[in-house]
């Protein structure tokens, strides 16, 4: 049976960098951003269900306008929760399929999931690794990466878990406040422990 490692963390903390280290070390990768895009392809069952609640975010072909959806849900917690309750059931079903497929060829699988806990996908994981960073650094990274203003980014941050939550619910924390080399070194140490079966007591 493959060991499934959940990788999650704060927006702008540097999860992409850490995921690349796991992939380089031979882990099969399930990128949940890609999974989310698969389940929200034009005309999908997920899109048709979402359109019943967010009609302004879809055209007649059930193509999702992601920016329009973002403007709505990041400003309204209830609407974000509604969106998540619908989309997560489709995402989790596809994750299960991908884990089953990768288990045929990989001893170790990384589930790269920004909303691991919100989706309930942490229950699929044997180990959870969270990536965190100082808020000012994350703010700088996200505004540059996504080309949006600081106010919009702060709204996004306000809808997410804080560092204390990740600390309490993860087996390992990578604090990505320094250089890429320092963060990669943290990841490699964790990977070696996982491969050797030296997984500490879970806080979950």
**Level-2 CATH architecture, domain 3-195:** 3-Layer(aba) Sandwich (3.40)
Helix (H, G, I), strand (E, B) or coil at 143: helix
Residue from 23, 51, 36 nearest 94 by CA: 36
Q: Is residue 52 part of an annotated ligand binding site?
A: no
Q: Is residue 132 part of an annotated ligand binding site?
A: no
Q: Is residue 120 part of an annotated ligand binding site?
A: no
The conformation of residue 202, written as its DSSP 8-state character, comes to P
Angle, to 10 degrees, between the axis of helix 77-102 and the axis of helix 32-39? Answer: 110
State the 10-residue block means of pLDDT for the chain, 204 residues long: 93 90 97 96 97 97 95 89 95 97 96 94 96 87 80 75 90 92 95 83 46
The domain ranges of the chain are: 3-195
Q: Is residue 14 part of an annotated ligand binding site?
A: yes
Q: Is residue 201 part of an annotated ligand binding site?
A: no
pTM (predicted TM-score): 0.86
Q: Is residue 15 part of an annotated ligand binding site?
A: yes
């Amino acid at each position: 049976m493959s060991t499934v490692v959940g990788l999650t963390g704060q927006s702008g903390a540097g999860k992409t960098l850490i995921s690349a280290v796991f992939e380089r070390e031979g882990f099969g990768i399930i990128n949940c951003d890609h999974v989310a895009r698969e389940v929200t392809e034009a005309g999908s069952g997920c899109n048709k269900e979402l359109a019943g609640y967010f009609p302004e975010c879809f055209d007649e072909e059930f193509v999702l306008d992601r920016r329009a959806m973002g403007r709505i849900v990041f400003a309204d917690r209830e609407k974000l929760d509604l969106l998540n309750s619908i989309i997560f059931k489709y995402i989790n079903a596809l994750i299960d399929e991908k884990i089953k497929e990768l288990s045929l060829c990989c001893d170790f699988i990384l589930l790269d999931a920004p909303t691991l806990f919100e989706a309930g996908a942490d229950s699929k994981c044997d180990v959870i690794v969270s990536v965190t960073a100082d808020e000012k650094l994350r703010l700088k990274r996200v505004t540059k990466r996504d080309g949006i203003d600081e106010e919009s980014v702060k709204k996004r941050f306000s809808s997410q878990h804080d560092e204390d939550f990740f600390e309490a619910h993860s087996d390992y924390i990578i604090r990505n406040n320094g250089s890429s080399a320092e963060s990669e070194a943290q990841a490699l140490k964790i990977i070696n422990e996982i491969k050797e079966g030296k997984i500490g007591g879970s806080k979950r």
